Structure formats: structure tokens, C-alpha cells
Amino acid sequence: MEDEVLYSQTFKIIGRDFANAGAVSVSIKRFLKEIQIKPEIIYRVSICCYEAEMNVVMYAMIGTLDFTITQDQIIIIVEDEGPGIEDIEKAMQEGYSTATPAMREMGFGAGLGLPNIKKNADEFNIQSEVAKGTKLTIKINYN
Ligand SMILES: Nc1ncnc2c1ncn2[C@@H]1O[C@H](COP(=O)(O)OP(=O)(O)OP(=O)(O)O)[C@@H](O)[C@H]1O
Ligand SMILES: [Mg+2]
């Protein structure tokens, strides 16, 4: 069965917790190195995880990152409870950002996170409901 789950782990992400921001992506990167996934794949997964994780930290209240490996794919599902995104098309455009001045001072807010996730994914889906939350589904083929 090609979509049989080989490994799965769920991580919690806390909104505005900049002290721990990025920790989930670091754990996943370390794990993928240990199991000897190709560096090019690790690079793409890391970008997707990091950008999705940071968006939850910056814009949402709380979220989860579900990380799954099947025979063929690395699947990352990031779901949050937060303000949601009113205009997804706009949010997907390079350079569009609602980051606050404080976030920009920390180096965020280029408006490149979502476009970069899309570029680095083999399959990408974003669903969002205003005042409820956002869900990203990211799939990367690794063979
Ligand atoms: N999980 C989310 N919940 C609510 N709004 C979001 C979420 N993710 C993204 N957005 C909205 O989409 C915009 C674009 O996101 P994107 O990640 O592309 O850029 P950014 O976070 O503003 O900047 P960068 O990622 O380059 O630091 C954000 O500014 C924000 O308005
Ligand atoms: Mg971002």
C-alpha cells in the first residue's frame, strides 16, 4: 500500500510564543536527517514547516502541526484556531503581509511565507474560515 503510514507525530504550536518559535521545524528537520531523507527533500520540508509554524505563531491563537510519512510522501497538515484569512488569493501573493511593526523588526513580514510553501510543495491546499481558523495541507514526494 503506497499510502500506508510509516510514521506520524503531532506538535502543538502556541500563538505569539516567539521564544519557542521554529522549534517544531527544527525537530522535524533533525528527525528527517536521522532517517536519511535526501537533503534536497529535507530543505523543502523544513521551509514548509517553518513558514507554516511561524504563521501560526504570528497570526493565530493555537495550532497543531501533523507530520506524517508514508511510503511516498511527507505530509504536513497545519491547522489553527485564529482569525482566518479573508482573501486567500491576496494572502498567497508575494509581498502581501499584515505583520505588525514589531514582527517586521524581528525580520518577519516579507509576505513570502505562503508563496514559498506553495513553491516547495508537490501538493498544496489552503482552507480558511474568518474568525475560526486556517488549515494548510502540504505534501512532498520524497522518492
Ligand atoms: N495562519 C494564519 N492565520 C491568519 N492569517 C494568516 C495565516 N497565515 C498567513 N496569514 C495571512 O496571510 C499573509 C501572508 O502570509 P505569508 O506567510 O505569505 O507572509 P507573512 O507571514 O506576512 O510574511 P513572511 O512569511 O514573509 O514573514 C499574512 O500577513 C497574514 O495576513
Ligand atoms: Mg509568514
- Give per-residue pLDDT as tens, 46-102: 999 999 999 999 999 999 999 999 999 999 999 999 999 999 999 999 999 999 999
Instruction: Please give the number of the atom of ligand 1 that sits closest to the Cα of 111.
Output: 19
Mean local confidence (pLDDT), 11-33: 97
Using CA atoms, how far residue 140 sits from 29, 43, 119, in Å, is 14, 11, 11
| Distance from Cα 114 to the centre of ligand 1, integer Å | 7
2 has a pLDDT exceeding 80: no
State the CB neighbour count (10 A cutoff) for residue 61. 14
Q: Which domain holds residue 91?
A: 5-141
Question: Nearest-CA neighbor of 3 among 77, 73, 67, 78?
Answer: 73
The total domain count for the chain is 1
15 has a pLDDT exceeding 80: yes
- Identify the pLDDT of residue 3: 84
CATH of the domain at 93: 3.30.565.10
1 has a pLDDT exceeding 70: no
Question: Which cell numbers in the block locate residue 23?
Answer: 522549534
> pTM of this prediction?
0.98
Pocket, ligand 1, Cβ cutoff 6 A? 51, 55-56, 58-60, 80, 82-85, 91, 96-99, 108-115, 134
Using CA atoms, how far residue 39 sits from 29, 33, 101, 113, in Å, is 10, 8, 35, 21
Angstrom distance (rounded) from CA 98 to CA 110: 10
Mean local confidence (pLDDT), 35-42: 98
| Distance from Cα 94 to the centre of ligand 2, integer Å | 11
Angstrom distance (rounded) from CA 45 to CA 134: 19
Angle between helices 113-120 and 39-59 (to 10 degrees): 150
Per-residue pLDDT reduced to its tens digit, 105-119: 999 999 999 999 999
Angstrom distance (rounded) from CA 124 to CA 50: 15
21 has a pLDDT exceeding 70: yes
